């Protein structure tokens, strides 16, 4: 291992540990700034150039240089970023005469059954957001300027060249998804709006209504808290994966006051120290997010320890997201709910989740199209608020507010990683079902296939993993076909 790789690994270990300790409620305040300061030498053009000469290609030199270069921007913006996070933590909204932290607004909105009260909460949230937008805009402007200073024509150009990812190809795949699922989506959206959002007309449908719809608390009985961890271990054992006894997997299940209520995974030392942090409270959402984070945990904890640091920690995150989504998929899978939890009455839940995933796919497709406009250099920031609301509203038939045009942006085109992960997950699941049948999660052959993919870390990108799963292209075709079939089944049932 070269010196640069050793330094990078030390930085990543400290960075992930800080994320683990603050998220798990073991520390009161996050201090990422001093970690960047301790490793200041890493994030400079000189180090990136030196890495290009020193790190062999088989150690993932391109990936490593891309990471260092992207972090030159993040490092320059770290104080402004910390200020924004602090401002967001301190921001409050008024709810029934009481002051409530802005960060709780989304939770309140998801749990508010009355449409008028939900809209009042969202209006208060957006008013607080408008006050933060100048800080968001400043960060965006500075990162755009820095990419121009490095000689790229736009931030999009900077990202594509460094990461070796052609976003216009992904844009075409997502446009196909938007076009070919428009009919089935509108039909499903209407059905669920009438059933779950009484008093909200099609023309009045807003993003806050979808947050409430997604909460779907009436399905929570399907997912008891006490079976959350045991059902996962039972599944992995059936597949011949010894996760319960793997010392690399550190399950943090203790209750702590400041622990994040949402499950997360911290790959502190890959593969030897990977934390899976949860506070089980039961319900569909808890299972979805726990299984998702478990997928990340398995991917990191079973990575081949002999891989270079770039292939254990960095690379195409579409791959780790696809592994996370594959395990998460268990909670959208009727045979698994029956086998693992003994629930046979899950059809209504499964159909709903299937619809909601289509909403999310369309939302993320629109996010990609919008972010290409935001980062493409063609439009001023002032124009982007309107483009955001138009693009998202057109794709989802749900009204989006222009005030969210900078908050609802994933750093470094992470929306593209999710979209690629969705395509890859569908292919991995299809391959598992084809080889091992509908109950693939009980077959040691499926365990071996997944273990082999996990062991690669992120040495290979999503296209290469797709080829390993037996596909000739990473695209939306299997997803589109799935919704067409579901629609045809529905129509034949109605006739
Ligand atoms: Zn994830």
Distance 289 CA to ligand 1 centre (A): 9
What separation in Å is there between the alpha carbon of 319 and the centre of ligand 1?
10
Q: Is 254 helix (H, G, I), strand (E, B) or coil?
A: coil
pLDDT for res 101: 87
- 96 Cα: distance to centroid of ligand 1 (angstroms): 35
Q: Which of 375, 368, 411, 373 is nearest to 153 (CA)?
A: 375
- Contact at 8 Å (CB) between 282 and 220? yes
**CA 467 to ligand 1 center in whole angstroms:** 22
CB within 5 A of ion ligand 1: which residues? 321, 324
Residue boundaries of the structural domains of the chain: 1-76, 165-495
Say how many Å lie between the CA of residue 328 and the centre of ligand 1.
10
Question: 265: CA distance to ligand 1 center in Å?
Answer: 9
DSSP letter string over 101-124? EGGGHHHHHHT---HHHHHHHHHH
Q: Say how far apart CA 324 and CA 310 lie, in whole Å.
A: 20
For residue 401, how far is its CA from the centre of ligand 1 (angstroms)?
26
Question: Which residues, in sequence order, are bridge partners of residue 264?
Answer: 277
> pTM of the prediction?
0.95
What is the whole-number distance in angstroms between the Cα of residue 13 and the centre of ligand 1?
19
For ligand 1, the distance from its centroid to the CA atom of residue 274, given in whole angstroms, is 14
C-alpha–C-alpha distance, residues 402 and 391, integer Å: 10
Find, among 236, 217, 77, the residue nearest to 251 by Cα: 236
- Below-70 pLDDT ranges, the chain: 494-495
pLDDT, tens digit, 9 for 90 and up, residues 399-413 = 999 999 999 998 999
Nearest to 134 by CA among 386, 381, 491: 381
* Distance in Å, CA 75 to ligand 1 centroid: 23
Please tell me the distance between residue 293's alpha carbon and the centre of ligand 1 in angstroms.
6
CA 219 – ligand 1 centroid, Å? 23
**342 CA from centroid of ligand 1 (Å):** 27
CA of 324 to the centre of ligand 1 (A): 6
Give the distance (Å) from ligand 1 centre to CA of residue 302: 17
Residue 457 Cα, ligand 1 centroid: separation in angstroms? 15
Give distance in angstroms: CA of 203 to centre of ligand 1: 33
- State the distance from the centre of ligand 1 to the C-alpha of 415, rounded, in angstroms: 11
Give counts: helices (H), strands (E), the chain.
22, 5
Give the per-residue pLDDT at 285. Answer: 87
At residue 495, the pLDDT reads 64
For ligand 1, the distance from its centroid to the CA atom of residue 54, given in whole angstroms, is 32
Ligand 1 centroid to Cα of residue 141, in Å, is: 27
Looking at residue 488, its pLDDT comes to: 77
Fold of the CATH domain 165-495: 1.10.1370
The pLDDT value recorded for residue 79 is 85
């Amino acid at each position: 291992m070269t010196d640069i790789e050793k330094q990078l690994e030390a930085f990543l270990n400290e960075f992930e540990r800080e994320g683990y300790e603050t998220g798990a409620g073991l520390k009161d305040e996050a201090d990422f700034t001093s970690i960047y300061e301790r490793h200041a030498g890493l994030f400079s053009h000189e180090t990136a150039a030196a890495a290009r000469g020193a790190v062999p290609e088989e150690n993932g030199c391109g990936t490593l240089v891309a990471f260092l270069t992207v972090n030159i921007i993040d490092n320059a913006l770290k104080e402004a970023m910390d200020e924004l996070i602090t401002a967001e933590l301190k921001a409050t909204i008024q709810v029934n005469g009481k002051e409530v932290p802005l960060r709780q607004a989304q939770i309140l909105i998801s749990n508010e059954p009355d449409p008028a009260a939900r809209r009042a909460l969202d209006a208060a949230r957006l008013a607080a957001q408008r006050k933060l937008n100048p800080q968001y805009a400043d960060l965006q402007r500075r990162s755009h300027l820095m990419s121009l200073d490095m000689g790229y024509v736009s931030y999009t150009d900077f990202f594509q060249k460094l990461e070796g990812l052609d976003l216009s190809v992904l844009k075409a795949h997502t446009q196909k998804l938007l076009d070919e699922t428009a009919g089935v989506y509108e039909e499903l959206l209407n059905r669920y709006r009438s059933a779950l959002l009484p008093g909200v007309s099609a023309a009045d449908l807003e993003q806050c209504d979808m947050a409430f719809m997604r909460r779907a608390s009436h399905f929570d009985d399907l997912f008891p808290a006490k079976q959350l961890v045991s059902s996962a271990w039972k599944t992995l054992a059936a597949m011949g994966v010894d996760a319960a006894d793997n010392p690399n997997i550190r399950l943090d299940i203790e209750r702590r006051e400041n622990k994040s209520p949402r499950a997360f995974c911290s790959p502190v030392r890959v593969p030897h120290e990977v934390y899976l942090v949860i506070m089980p409270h039961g319900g569909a959402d808890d299972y979805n997010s726990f299984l998702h984070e478990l997928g990340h945990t398995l991917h990191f904890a079973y990575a081949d320890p002999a891989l270079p640091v770039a292939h254990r920690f960095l690379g195409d995150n579409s791959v780790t997201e696809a592994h996370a989504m594959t395990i998460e998929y268990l909670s959208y899978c009727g045979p698994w709910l029956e086998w693992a939890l003994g629930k046979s009455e899950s059809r209504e839940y499964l159909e709903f989740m299937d619809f909601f995933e289509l909403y999310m796919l369309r939302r993320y497709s629109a996010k990609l199209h919008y972010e290409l406009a935001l980062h493409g250099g063609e439009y001023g920031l002032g124009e982007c608020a309107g483009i955001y609301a138009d693009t998202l509203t057109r794709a989802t038939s749900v009204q989006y507010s222009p005030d969210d045009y900078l908050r609802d942006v994933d750093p470094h085109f992470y929306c593209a990683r999710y979209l690629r992960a969705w395509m890859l997950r569908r292919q991995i699941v299809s391959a598992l079902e084809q080889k091992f049948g509908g109950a693939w999660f009980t077959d040691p052959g499926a365990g071996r296939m997944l273990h082999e993919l996990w062991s690669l870390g992120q040495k290979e990108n999503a296209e290469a993993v797709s080829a390993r799963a037996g596909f000739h292209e990473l695209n939306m075709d299997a997803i589109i076909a799935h919704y067409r079939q579901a629609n045809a089944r529905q129509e034949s049932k109605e006739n």
